Amino acid sequence: MKVVVITGAGSGLGASLAKKYSKLGYHVCLLGRTRSKLNLTAETLTQSYSIYEVDVTSNSDVAKVIQSIKDEIGPIDILINNAGMGVFGLAENLNENSVHAMIDINLKGTIFCTQEVLPDMKKRNQGFIINIVSTAGVEGKINETVYCASKFGVRGFTESLALELKETSVGVFGAYMGGMKSEFWDGIFTQEQIKDFMDPDDVADIIIENTKLRKNLLVTEVIIKNKI
């Protein structure tokens, strides 16, 4: 059975991806900071799964969890770097903790998790790394200066990593999507304000379709925007 590791799997797109990969027959490793949320996602899965509490901003924490997955489950076939957070407002109003949190979770978390799976994937010469980036990694946005900075960083990391892996069979994919209906917007927008946002299940379908292995074809990134 193939193994997929998903960070930020407790809600939103991470939960949707977990459900769909489970239906495809994968053993799904659910990673996140809150076990109760991960348990809710686990209840939707049809195949075997594992739950790991992890702080992706801690290199040592990530290393321990990834090693545990390898020891307990087996080699990792797909890593989905989905964990992320945003604090929005004018640049001069963002406090220090918010700046650190966005850079640490969105950028460093992606780097740390990727670093831990790369050696084994390169040794086996197979595997796939999917980075969930957001359209904030493609264009600057008002009230999203540091959030965009963190996501532009992930884009640079993703594109550079793809070049490093060009001569291997390890794939790298960047997903750049707009706002989705999820807990991400709690305290920022009302339910009425996000009612026309994208459905995470639809975005998950698009990501999975574009990361399927196909003969003589490789999709390296997809931009998914809201109609509004």
- Give the model's pLDDT for residue 51: 98
Q: Which residues are 174's β-sheet partners?
A: 131, 221
Helix/strand number for the chain, H first, E second: 7, 7
Known active-site residue 52: no
- Give the model's pLDDT for residue 215: 81
- Give the model's pLDDT for residue 190: 63
The domain 3-224: what is its CATH number?
3.40.50.720
The domain segmentation of the chain, as residue ranges, is 3-224
How far is the CA of 40 from the CAs of 3, 12, 43, in angstroms?
A: 20, 12, 5
- Give the model's pLDDT for residue 129: 98
Q: How far apart are CA 110 and CA 114, in angstroms?
A: 6
Catalytic residue among 49, 52, 147, 176: 147
pLDDT by position in tens, the chain (length 228)? 999 999 999 999 999 999 999 999 999 999 999 999 999 999 999 999 999 999 999 999 999 999 999 999 999 999 999 999 999 999 999 999 999 999 999 999 999 999 999 999 999 999 999 999 999 999 999 999 999 999 999 999 999 999 999 999 999 999 998 876 666 656 666 666 666 677 889 999 999 999 988 888 888 999 998 876
